[in-house]
């Protein structure tokens, strides 16, 4: 059998499996955009994508593939335009018959013909649909750009326009700050100079990304970043992370420290599930003194009055002030290059007890080649390599960070007095370390 037929049969088999799974789950919607798929659904989807990519690679000429790949900046630029100027929302308010490009242009104060060219470019790529000549409507994909507010509301309060549109906020980050910064990747790799990331090169400032977004002059960008970040946080269910470790085996009163907690989504789920434990949330001052108390007062105020949760300002580059039974970090290490990751791990190792556990939630990047003797025992995951490598590029671009391989997580532990004891697959891998 030819490789083309093999790929086609793989696609058909996985499509049948996926249709059966989705028939039970029901249709997706903008409200479920940040839902992590069940493992069976994700596996079938990844198999379709892998086989389809292989099939396309076989039938397309290398020139076609390379030209499409190296002109992807136009897709990003077009996405930035339609997202920033609320095109999906404007079309949505016009109703199911869509809206003429001339009228869209008038509503945003732009040349309707140029707007039409952008929409047609995206429609060819299955984002938006041309319903009649020069009349465009939303489709399944463009509907995920809706921000959950009327155009009138967004014009009246542009600072808050992304508050309810978390996926649109994430698109804004990728298509704006990350897009601009990505043009500095070649220069950064060859000669970073004084800068920590391509993003720092782009802004000509070595302030880390989180602090930069928190500056008063970047209030709108910072608020969009917070909305997008919240969406991706919600995409990774806290209950999955709670189930990744045997917290019920801890004695009452044991201390669990959430290092780099943000508002504490996972800690809140832990505090509800295991109320006999003591929790310490650590982050920067603006999070701990403003955002986190507000979030807990709204969602779970009794945890603040009974003392089971404590807020603590802490820079995780320094020695951790709390002797804990469990330290956990959710997507902290991937934000940082190795030198910073080593400092973070040394900071918790300095105060760890011999019985302390370190729980790290992060993605693990697989090697794409056939297994070697050294990598044969590495845990197997069903992550899409396209998404993983995209995430890796995003981490490098914005923070100088990275998604790491299994071997790299082992090396980080060995260099800081932690032994990687076990790895449990999940939406994020749960890596459990013990002191050595």
- Reported as a pLDDT band with limits 50, 70 and 90, residue 45 is confident
- pLDDT surpasses 70 at 289: yes
Q: What pLDDT does residue 42 have?
A: 80
Average pLDDT, the chain: 92
Q: Evaluate if residue 192 carries a pLDDT over 90.
A: yes
How far apart are alpha carbons 156 and 192 in whole angstroms? Answer: 42
**Tokens linked to 289:** 């003194």
User: In 26-86, where does DSSP find H-type helix?
Assistant: 39-59, 62-70, 73-84
Residue whose entry in the numeric block shows the structure tokens 């992370």: 241
- Give the model's pLDDT for residue 28: 57
Instruction: Give how far Cα 357 sits from Cα of 21, 247, 385, Å.
Output: 37, 11, 29
Quick check: 327 and 359 in contact, CB under 8 A? Answer: yes
pLDDT tens digits, 216-269: 999 999 999 989 987 776 667 788 788 889 999 999 999 999 999 999 989 999
Q: What angle do CA 45, 396, 409 make, to 5 degrees?
A: 75
Mean pLDDT score, 4-25: 90
- Backbone torsions φ then ψ of 316, nearest 5 degrees: -70, 0
Structural contact between residues 436 and 371, judged by C-beta atoms closer than 8 angstroms: no
Residue 375, pLDDT > 70, answer no
Split at pLDDT 50, 70, 90, the class of 377 is low
Phi-psi region of 107 (alpha: psi -120 to 50; beta: other; left: phi over 0): alpha
The pLDDT value recorded for residue 2 is 74
Q: How far is CA 192 from CA 23, 197, 198, 343, 351, in A?
A: 50, 7, 8, 21, 34
User: How many whole angstroms separate alpha carbon 60 and alpha carbon 124?
Assistant: 18
Q: What pLDDT band is residue 30 in, cutting at 50, 70 and 90?
A: very low
What is the DSSP pairing of strand 357-362 with strand 429-435? antiparallel
Contact in structure between 166 and 30 (CB atoms under 8 Å)? no
Max mean pLDDT among 81-85, 161-165, 224-228, 422-426 falls in 81-85
pTM (predicted TM-score):
0.89
SS3 194: coil
Taking the C-alpha atoms of residue 357 and residue 61, their distance in angstroms, rounded to an integer, is: 52
Residues in Cβ contact with 264 at an 8 Å cutoff, skipping those fewer than 6 apart: 258, 281, 292, 295, 296, 309
Output the six-digit token pair for 309.
Answer: 């949760």
At 114-125, the pLDDT tens digits run 999 999 999 999
CA dihedral sign of residues 77, 80, 84, 88: positive
Is it the case that residue 146 has pLDDT exceeding 60?
yes
Percent of the chain with pLDDT over 90: 77
Judged by phi (left if over 0) then psi (alpha if -120 to 50, else beta), residue 205 lies in beta
Q: Give the tens place of pLDDT for each residue, 92-103.
A: 999 999 999 999
Instruction: Quote the tokens at residue 246.
Output: 């045997």
Comparing 424 with 412, the larger pLDDT belongs to 412
Buried b (16+ CB within 10 A) or exposed e, 71-107: eeeeebebbbbbbbbbbbbbbbebeeebbbbebbbeb
Could you tell me which residue, 18 or 427, shows the higher pLDDT? 18
388-410: per-residue pLDDT in tens? 899 999 999 999 999 999 999 99
Instruction: Write down the pLDDT at residue 382.
Output: 57
Give the model's confidence band at 298: pLDDT under 50 very low, under 70 low, under 90 confident, else very high: very high
Q: At residue 34, does pLDDT exceed 90?
A: no
């Amino acid at each position: 059998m030819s490789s083309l037929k093999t790929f086609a049969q793989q696609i058909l088999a996985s499509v049948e499996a996926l249709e059966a799974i989705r028939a039970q789950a029901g249709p997706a919607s903008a409200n479920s955009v940040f839902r992590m798929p069940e493992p069976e659904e994700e596996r079938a989807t990844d198999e379709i994508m892998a086989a389809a990519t292989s099939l396309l690679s076989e039938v397309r000429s290398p020139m076609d593939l390379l030209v499409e790949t190296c002109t992807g900046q136009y897709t990003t630029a077009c996405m930035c335009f339609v997202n920033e100027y609320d095109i999906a929302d404007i079309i949505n308010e016009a109703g199911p018959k869509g809206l003429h490009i001339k009228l869209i242009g008038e509503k945003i104060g732009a040349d309707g013909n140029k707007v039409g060219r952008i929409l047609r470019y995206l429609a060819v790529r299955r984002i938006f649909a041309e319903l009649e000549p020069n009349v465009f409507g939303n489709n399944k994909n463009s509907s995920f750009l809706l921000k959950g507010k009327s155009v009138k509301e967004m014009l009246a309060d542009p600072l808050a326009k992304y508050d309810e549109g978390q996926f649109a906020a994430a698109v804004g980050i990728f298509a704006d700050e990350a897009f601009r910064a990505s043009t500095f990747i070649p220069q950064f790799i060859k000669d970073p100079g004084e800068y920590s990331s391509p993003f720092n090169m782009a802004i000509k400032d070595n302030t880390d990304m989180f602090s930069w977004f928190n500056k008063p002059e970047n209030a709108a960008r910072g608020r969009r970043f917070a909305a997008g970040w919240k969406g991706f946080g919600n995409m990774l269910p806290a209950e999955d992370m709670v189930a990744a470790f045997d917290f019920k085996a801890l004695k009452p009163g044991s201390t669990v420290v959430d290092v780099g907690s943000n508002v504490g989504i996972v800690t809140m789920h832990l505090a509800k599930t295991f109320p006999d434990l003591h929790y310490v949330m650590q982050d920067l001052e603006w999070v701990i003194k403003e955002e986190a108390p507000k979030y807990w007062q709204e969602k779970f105020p009794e945890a603040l009055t009974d003392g089971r949760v404590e807020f603590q300002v802490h820079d995780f580059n320094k020695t951790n002030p709390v002797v804990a039974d469990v330290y956990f970090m959710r997507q902290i290490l991937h934000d940082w290059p190795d030198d910073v990751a080593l400092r973070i791990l040394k900071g918790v190792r300095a105060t760890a007890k011999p019985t302390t556990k370190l729980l790290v939630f992060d993605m693990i990047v697989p090697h794409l080649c056939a297994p070697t003797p050294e990598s044969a025992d590495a845990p197997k995951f069903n992550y899409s390599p396209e998404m993983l490598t995209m995430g890796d590029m995003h981490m490098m671009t914005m923070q100088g960070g990275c998604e790491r391989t299994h071997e790299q997580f082992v090396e980080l532990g060995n260099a800081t007095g932690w032994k990687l004891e076990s790895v449990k697959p999940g939406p994020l891998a749960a890596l459990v370390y013990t002191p050595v």
